[in-house]
Structure 1
Amino acid sequence: MKNLLIASYDMEVGGVERSLISLLNNFDYKNYKVDLMLYSHTGEFMSFLPTQTNLLPESSVYKTFRMSVGEIIKTGKITLGMARILAKYRADLSTSEENGYKQMQYMWKYSLPFLPKLEKRYDVAISYLWPHYFVAEKVKAKTKIAWIHTDFSKVHTDKTLDFYMWDKYDYIIAVSEDCRKSFVHMYPLLKKKVTVMENITSPEFVQAMSGEEVENVMKYDQRFKVITVARFSHAKGLDNAIKALKVLKDRGYDDIAWYVIGYGGDEKMLKDLIKQNNLEDQFILIGKKINPYPYMKKADLYVQPSRYEGKAVTVGEAQILSKPVLVTNYPTAKSQVRNGFDGLICELSIEGIADGIEKFYKDDELTKVFAANCKKSNYKNNEELNKLYSLMR
């Protein structure tokens, strides 16, 4: 039996975390003993971790990556607090568009000398979420694998710093072919290391969870109901979604309600935008939900208004629930939607989103056909795990 380590940040509600849960719940525990290293033992998805996975004790040092500078200093870890301040200063020398990702990089770079190594030696070590410095620098393993969950053509990082980190891995797994292409375009010297493995989906789990009785604000809403499940961030394009609904309202569509499940740093901005456009009764932020599926089940249409994606887990989950989907034409969109069969890909713009929703609203038959096509499609892809096993032999 091989010893395997998987490392990630925490189990807060999110697409990456949901994909990790699916991977762990479908893993081959007969041939692999799996240790899970979470920097912080927090998040609503902690209860979904399978019993076969050995959760390593929480490290007070690595937990600081989910703390503010003030919280870090209060714990007495002054050097790590100073490393964080230096990282912010260095990142602020970049443009505002770039500094979020760069601050994460520099935070790890300046913290590395003060971070402990894992003593155990592994056959395989997997870093599931960028930045991948922990497994690259602090873990001993025969084979090291890193995951790509996003479109790197849209991510602004210190490429030189990141290259040295990526190069310490034997394999790099992208969640879609388009994801792989965008990464290889940025790092052509790493091309031979990169392979594709889609996120594991579990139709049985999604269907079972969708039947759970929850206090559902959508239950008695008779309007045409759109739903999005996403983090409140620039990448997810929720500001464009609000503006698209305003366009629809100006066209006379007062009976469209757009519900959003999620949370994140852009919440205040989104609420202000909703208020500015007088959409308080139509664009409704439900907040964080451990189980979004009963809400998705009640919707007429799932919309992913993102500016960029690796491969949105929630789009596949909506399709499992036989919901027609509308996604913006971000670079990896074609890897998720068979345009004109189980959903539509619209122009990545406010007008494009509005036009796409209007098309579904006006054509009930189209909605039914797409829903039927979703129902007869097989979205289960457990065989994708064989790609991972082949790398770990």
Structure 2
Amino acid sequence: MKKKILIRIGSLRHGGAEKVLINFLKNLPEDKYEIDLLINLYTGMYIKEVPSWVNLYYLLKGEMITTNKPHEIPVKIFRVLYQKMFLWFPWLLYRFVLKNKKYDVEIGAIHGMYREILSSPQSNSKKIIWIQNDIFNLKEYTPEVIKQFFKFDKILVISNKLKEEMQKVAEDRKQRQAVIQIFNPIDKNDTLRKANVQIDDYPFSNTIPTFITIGTVYPQKGYDRLLDVHKKLIDEGLKHQIIIIGDGFDFENIYTKLNDLNLMKTVKMLGFRDNPYPYLKKADFYIMSSRHEGFPTIIAEALILNKPIVSTDVSGIKDLLQNGKLGMITPNSEAGIYEGMKKMLTNLELADQYRKEIASAELPFVLEKSVAHLQEIIDNV
């Protein structure tokens, strides 16, 4: 008998959690599970990558709205209310969208879906939530909200730091044992294949050291402080360039700051790229200036492409960089980013040392290991 599983996520647009879910689905055995994937908004680059044997359901169709333009507000309001209706009256969802199907396991593939899974009218199904960000750094996750997570049978977390934080607030041994750290599965061969695609719009020549950073342009990514650090280093005579790949609601603010600081020649904002890996491959270093993260998938991919990394001390980074052996972990501040970038630019032997360490390291986020661990959790829940 195949195990019947419902998985829920907001959309399948470009993002770490969405990519992880797709990697997971692509590598699960079709003969073992019957999977229904329910997305709130049918949109995103990963829709086309959902395996054909997975049943795909959705609540709404259309593009993601990330701005507050007047003509978009009514659409946003409608979408929120429509989704809330299924949260308030979940039986409607299970009867009319999911056709009264019974599930053995229900999974929230991202922490933001915890209410949706907990509201399920199917009390006999096992419930799993996957925490894909450092919720202890997100305002909406108050201590009362975090307690709700312990209603799940299993709580998957993507870093050792998150596991420790969750276990600290657990009330008993059973709750502590429900928290399981699992490395997000990264497809090494896929990353290498995509990195080898030819591009003709790389914005810089390779004569000057180039840092690259990739991610949605949100305040959490710290691109504002990265620009301030870049300006300071340039003013000190340390020549280097920065490429920022990604879009998001903070794009205009960062672009304006870039112009105000007169950095148009040394910083290029390329916007969203569905394949950022050739740019990553051509750059010299990866820089992560984030204020907080969950499991920064892009760092794992930078390691696969053997890039020296400078990263702020965010959740998951010590696991990924093996406590600083595979890359530089700086204090989570503007001063920390400054010191890290300066060291990388002034000590060329340091970058070579990191490349050697990365090349000989056994990376823990290998696809097969992660998928096997996930299967074990689902089978034994």
TM-score normalized by the length of structure 1: 0.84
Q: What is the CA distance between 1:158 and its match in structure 2? A: 5.5
Partner of 1:305: 289
| Preserved contact between residue 80 and residue 114 of structure 1 (Cα < 8 Å) | no
In terms of mean alpha carbon deviation, does 206-215 or 295-304 score higher? Answer: 206-215
Residue 231 (structure 1) aligns with: 216
| Structure 2 CA distance for aligned equivalents of residues 18 and 223 of structure 1 | 32
- The alignment partner of 1:252 has SS state of coil
State the identity as a percent: 24
Report what 2:53 is aligned to: 52
Separation in 2, partners of 1:33, 1:165: 28
| 1:389 to 2:378 alignment | no
What is the count of residue pairs matched by the alignment? 364
The answer as to whether partners of 2:209 and 2:284 remain within 8 angstroms in 1 is: yes
Look up the match of 2:97. none
Q: Is 1:196 paired with 2:171?
A: no
Equivalent position to 1:133, from 115, 138, 141: 115
- Determine the C-alpha separation between the residues in 2 that align with 1:78 and 1:197: 33
Between the aligned partners of 2:358 and 2:141, the Cα distance in structure 1 is 41
1:184, 1:5 → 2: CA distance? Answer: 26
8 Å contact kept, 1:72–1:80: no
Amino acid at match of 1:390: E
Per-residue CA deviations over 1:310-367 (Å, capped at 9, x if unaligned) read 1100000000001111111224421111345321111222222122112122222221
What are the equivalent positions in structure 2 for 1:68-147 lying under 5 Å apart?
73=74, 77=78, 80=81, 112-114=87-89, 116-118=92-94, 119-131=100-112, 132-138=114-120, 140=122, 142-147=125-130
Measured in 1, the distance between the counterparts of 2:223 and 2:288 equals 9
Tell me, yes or no, if structure 1 residue 337 matches structure 2 residue 338.
no
Task: Give the alignment of 1:29-48 within 5 angstroms.
Answer: 29-48=30-49
Instruction: Summarize the Cα distance change of 1:362–1:11 in structure 2 as closer, same or farther, 3 Å threshold.
Output: same
Could you tell me which amino acid in structure 1 is paired with residue 195 of structure 2? S
Q: Relative to structure 1, is the Cα distance of residues 144 and 63 closer, same or farther in structure 2, using a 3 angstrom cutoff?
A: farther
Q: Does structure 1 residue 243 correspond to structure 2 residue 228?
A: yes
Counterpart residue type for residue 159 of structure 1 = T
Displacement of 1:223 in angstroms is 1.7
* Contact 1:143 1:392 survives alignment (8 Å): no
CA separation in 2, counterparts of 1:205 and 1:136? 35
Code of the aligned partner of 1:230: G
| Secondary structure in 2 matching 1:39 | strand
The residue aligned with 2:152 is: 169
Measured in 1, the distance between the counterparts of 2:268 and 2:280 equals 14
- Alpha-carbon RMSD across the aligned residues, in angstroms, is 2.8
- Partners of 2:245 and 2:145 in 1: how far apart? 32
**Are residues 8 and 281 of structure 1, via their aligned partners in 2, closer, same or farther at CA, if it must alter by over 3 Å?**
same
CA distance change for structure 1 residues 38 and 300 in 2, over 3 Å: closer, same or farther?
Answer: same
1:363 to 1:77, Cα distance in 2 relative to 1, 3 A? closer
> Which residue identity is paired with 2:15?
G
Compared CA separation, residues 348 and 159, structure 1 to 2 (3 A): closer
Tell me, yes or no, if the aligned pair for 1:309 and 1:332 is still in contact at 8 Å. yes
Q: Which amino acid aligns with 2:16?
A: G
Q: Say whether the 8 Å CA contact 1:152–1:182 is kept in structure 2.
A: no
Matched ranges for 1:322-361 at <5 A: 322-361=306-345
Aligned AA (2:11): D
TM-superposed CA distance for 1:63, in Å, is: 7.5
Residues in 1 aligned to 2:26 and 2:313: alpha-carbon distance in whole angstroms: 31
Matched residue SS, 2:5: strand
1:368 paired to 2:352: yes
The one of 163, 166, 175 equivalent to 1:180 is: 163
State the partner residue of 2:193. 208
Tell whether the 8 Å contact from 2:244 to 2:271 is kept in structure 1 after alignment.
yes
Instruction: Give the 3 Å change call, closer, same or farther, for CA 65–123 of structure 1 in structure 2.
Output: farther
Name the CA shift for 1:328/1:335 in 2 (closer, same or farther; >3 Å).
same
2:7–2:106 Cα contact (<8 Å) kept: yes
Question: Which of 176-185 and 70-79 deviates more?
Answer: 70-79
Instruction: Structure 1 unaligned segments of length 5 or more: list them.
Output: 82-106
Contact 1:72 1:78 in 2 (8 A): no
**Is residue 377 from structure 1 mapped to residue 361 from structure 2 by the alignment?**
yes
Whether 1:293 aligns to 2:273 is: no
Residues 1:24 and 2:20 are matched in the alignment: no
**Deviation for aligned residue 1:72:** 7.6
Match of 1:269 among 248, 253, 278: 253
Distance 1:75 1:196 in 2: 35
Deviation at 1:251, TM superposition (A): 1.1
Partner secondary structure for residue 44 of structure 1? coil
Q: Which amino acid aligns with 1:39?
A: N
